[in-house]
Amino acid sequence: MRRGEFVSVIGTSGSGKSTLFKLVTGLLEPNQGDILFDGQKTGKRLGRVGYMPQKDLLLPWKTVLENVLLPLEITKERKQARLPEIKEWLARFGLAEYESSYPSELSGGMKQRVAFLRTLMTGKELLLLDEPFGALDSMTKRKMHKWLLGLWGELQKTVLFITHDLEEAILLSDRVYVLQDTGIKELKVNLPRPRSSQLIYQSEFLTMRKELEMLIHNES
């Protein structure tokens, strides 16, 4: 992956998507080959990446602000020094009015935004997002896509993204990797940024979607 790139991984159940994430995070070691960070082999990968699972996993007894501050507590970083920056990010994420709210008071989309911001606050260059919008209804998911597309230019992060949603993969990604029984296939998404959710209705997008569907079913 190139720095600042958004890469999606798609495959049927059991194709190895979760195993891939565990290898990157350091929870598993490869039987063969190497995993490189910035072109360098490293023996210790745990703690090198930010990870966001499908479920938000927000602590219900902590406020939005306290949940976002959790990565700083873990690293024992001075929270007070980062507070102005974090409050600015809360505003960019549309959460400024909810920093004192608890997870039970938030909608599904807002919870995912809090979880995403918490992942961002780890300060890691590489973010692993495991179907972060998979549990949302279709309308909320569309809103999250629009929100993320509008924010993407500011993030300047490298993202590895697992999804089962073909439109989501094409709309958000620079490249899509399809895990097949016979190997890995790549689809380059040559759509200009910034992107709009309206792209899904254009002929070029529909052609890519058809190609991606054929790759998933191993028809090409």
| pLDDT per position as a tens digit, 186-196 | 999 999 888 88
- Residue 54: inside a domain: no
For residues 145 and 217, membership in a common domain is answered with yes
Residue 219 is part of a domain; what is its CATH number?
Answer: 3.40.50.300
For residues 107 and 66, membership in a common domain is answered with yes
For residues 13 and 83, membership in a common domain is answered with no
pLDDT on residue 220: 54
Res. 24 pLDDT band, cuts 50 70 90: confident
Count of domains for the chain: 2
pLDDT on residue 30: 83
- Residue 170: inside a domain: yes
pLDDT on residue 42: 72
- Residue 99: inside a domain: yes
For residues 116 and 130, membership in a common domain is answered with no
- Residue 178: inside a domain: yes
The residue from 123, 142, 165 where one domain ends is 123
CA gap 173, 180 in Å, rounded: 19
For residues 119 and 131, membership in a common domain is answered with no
CA gap 114, 121 in Å, rounded: 10
- Please check whether residue 154 is in contact with residue 92, taking contact to mean a CB–CB distance below 8 angstroms: yes
For residues 213 and 188, membership in a common domain is answered with yes
Percent of the chain with pLDDT over 90: 40
Highest mean pLDDT among 15-19, 94-98, 122-126: 94-98
Residue 126 corresponds to which tokens in the numbers above?
């590489």
137 or 58: which leads in pLDDT: 58
CA gap 102, 60 in Å, rounded: 6
Domain that holds residue 14: 1-49+125-220
For residues 116 and 169, membership in a common domain is answered with no
Q: Peptide bond before 84: cis, by omega within 30 degrees of 0?
A: no
33-37 average pLDDT score:
81
For residues 17 and 112, membership in a common domain is answered with no
- Residue 192: inside a domain: yes
77-85 average pLDDT score:
82
